[in-house]
Amino acid sequence: MDMFTMVILACVAGEPTCTAVRLSEMDFTNADACEARIDAVTAAMTRDFAQRPGFRGRQVTYDVSCMNREQLKRKLGVSVADL
């Protein structure tokens, strides 16, 4: 059984850099299970950004992917040992 990892790139309007997060859970045993959590994870991140001084009311855009180990290695150069 393959495990999937959620990779999120979150960009706050007006900020020079974006935040990258890699989230793996035991329940991510297929792409559908990973994708089912996207809304909850991005909503929690948006709430966290809203608590930071100067970020409140600013737009956040997300680029989210659910990838297995082979896809992570091929697309991002992340090796199995890094997981």
Report the Cα 25 to chain-centroid distance in Å: 12
Per-residue confidence at 27, pLDDT binned at 50, 70, 90?
confident
Structure tokens at 52: 């930071």
- Judge whether 83 and 5 are in contact, CB under 8 Å: yes
DSSP single-letter state for residue 38? H
What's the domain range around 40? Answer: 4-82
- Share above pLDDT 90 across residues of the chain, in percent, rounded to a whole number: 55
Phi, psi of 17 (to 5 degrees): -130, 160
Considering its fold, how many domains does the chain have in total? 1
Q: What is the mean pLDDT of the chain?
A: 88
